[in-house]
């Protein structure tokens, strides 16, 4: 699927929409049509049909209005995508852990929050993250994530790098979970059905003497997972290893006190 890039619209218009400094239609605009209603319709469309289905025309059809009526509120698809991303960043989540909780707990909460957001809105995986929309929710998200590692002995650049590392890991790991969720609809088979359809042929073709490690480990994992993989378990395992690595970085800070390292 083609990657969509935020920030392709007019910067002044996008920022005005993101911060709602201009949210009034022209006199020709429908009074029941608002930026929030248009954006919510666009998100619903992308959630259901994917990002390729997103267009001003499809959003208008979803709302039961003429396409031109959308342009009195939103200049085009580029600006619409910016507001969509910022809006889902602002959706309610579980409250963050208090500042006195351990930094691992706070970072794990950040990772799981982002994981769940991708599962709710899989189209986010196809939106580039290098140029996030500079809206209030995106900035609040970044601020919250940085505060998860505030005061544990890292420099400002290391704090930014740790947040980027965790978010990048989630972005990559959640693809497997999304694919596993969507696979039955695309293939017509559950994981269990797929496995049992292939297993008899694999048993005849796979020579354990030629592939001893793959045969042993694959059999053990397949029996445990009931398929080829368990994306959620893999995500948790990988996240723990990343947090272990960050713990080493924190412990090796020359100016880190034991109290700071434990926060």
- Residue 220 predicted with pLDDT over 80: yes
Q: Which residue carries 């809105």 as its tokens?
A: 121
**How many Cβ atoms sit within 10 Å of the Cβ of residue 76?**
15
pLDDT for 24 equals: 57
pLDDT for 22 equals: 66
Give the span between the Cα atoms of 105 and 93, in whole angstroms: 16
255 phi/psi in degrees, rounded to 5: -105, 15
**How many Cβ atoms sit within 10 Å of the Cβ of residue 162?**
24
Lowest mean pLDDT among 20-34, 57-71, 84-98: 20-34
Percent of the chain residues past pLDDT 90, beyond the cut = 67
Decide which of 22 and 223 is more confident. 223
Is 11-89 assigned to CATH 3.40.50.300? no
Sorting pLDDT into bands at 50, 70 and 90, what band is 212? Answer: very high
Give 150-153's long-range contacts (Cβ < 8 A, gap of 24+): 150/99, 151/260, 151/263, 152/103, 152/250, 152/256, 152/260, 152/261, 152/263, 153/250, 153/253, 153/255, 153/256, 153/257, 153/260, 153/261
- The answer to whether domain 11-89 and domain 103-261 are alike in fold is no
Give the span between the Cα atoms of 87 and 33, in whole angstroms: 17
- Residue 183 predicted with pLDDT over 80: yes
Sorting pLDDT into bands at 50, 70 and 90, what band is 4? Answer: very high
pLDDT for 232 equals: 93
Question: Helix, strand, or coil here: 127?
Answer: strand
What are the boundaries of each domain within the chain? 11-89, 103-261
Percent of the chain residues past pLDDT 70, beyond the cut = 92
**How many Cβ atoms sit within 10 Å of the Cβ of residue 241?**
10
Mean local confidence (pLDDT), 137-153: 96
pLDDT for 1 equals: 62
Mean local confidence (pLDDT), 205-232: 85
Sorting pLDDT into bands at 50, 70 and 90, what band is 16? Answer: very high
- Residue 69 predicted with pLDDT over 80: yes
Beta bridge partners of 25: none
Decide which of 156 and 253 is more confident. 156
Judging by beta carbons within 10 Å of its beta carbon (0-12, 13-18, 19+), is residue 203 exposed, middle or buried? exposed
144 phi/psi in degrees, rounded to 5: -60, -40
Give the span between the Cα atoms of 140 and 261, in whole angstroms: 25
Q: Which residue carries 């020359």 as its tokens?
A: 254
Give the span between the Cα atoms of 12 and 79, in whole angstroms: 10
- Residue 258 predicted with pLDDT over 60: no
Mean local confidence (pLDDT), 234-243: 97
**How many Cβ atoms sit within 10 Å of the Cβ of residue 108?**
19
Fold for 103-261, please state it.
Answer: Tetracycline Repressor; domain 2 (1.10.357)
Q: Cβ(12)–Cβ(21) under 8 Å?
A: no
Average pLDDT over the chain, rounded to whole?
Answer: 90
pLDDT for 71 equals: 94
Mean local confidence (pLDDT), 185-205: 82
Q: For the whole model, what pTM was predicted?
A: 0.89
């Amino acid at each position: 699927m083609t990657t969509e890039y935020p920030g392709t619209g007019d910067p002044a218009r996008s920022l005005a929409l993101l911060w709602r400094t201009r949210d009034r239609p022209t006199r020709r605009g429908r009074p029941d049509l608002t930026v929030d209603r248009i954006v919510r319709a666009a998100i619903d469309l992308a959630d259901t049909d994917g990002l390729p289905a997103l267009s001003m025309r499809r959003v208008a059809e979803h709302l039961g209005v003429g396409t031109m009526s959308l342009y009195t509120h939103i200049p085009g698809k580029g600006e619409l995508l910016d507001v969509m991303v910022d809006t889902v960043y602002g959706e309610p989540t579980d409250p963050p852990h208090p500042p006195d909780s351990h930094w691992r707990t706070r970072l794990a909460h950040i990772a799981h929050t982002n994981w769940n957001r991708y599962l709710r809105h899989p189209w986010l995986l196809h939106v580039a993250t290098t140029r996030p929309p500079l809206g209030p929710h995106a900035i609040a998200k970044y601020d919250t994530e940085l505060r998860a590692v505030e005061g544990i002995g890292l420099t400002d650049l290391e704090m930014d790098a740790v947040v980027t590392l965790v978010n990048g890991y989630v972005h990559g790991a959640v693809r497997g979970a999304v694919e596993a969720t969507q696979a039955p609809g695309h293939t017509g088979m559950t994981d269990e059905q797929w496995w049992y359809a292939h297993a008899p042929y694999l048993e005849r073709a796979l020579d354990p003497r030629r592939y001893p490690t793959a045969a042993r480990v694959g059999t053990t994992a397949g029996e445990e997972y009931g398929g080829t993989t368990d994306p959620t378990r893999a995500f948790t395992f990988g996240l723990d290893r990343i947090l272990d690595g960050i713990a080493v970085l924190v412990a090796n800070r020359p100016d880190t006190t034991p109290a700071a390292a434990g926060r």
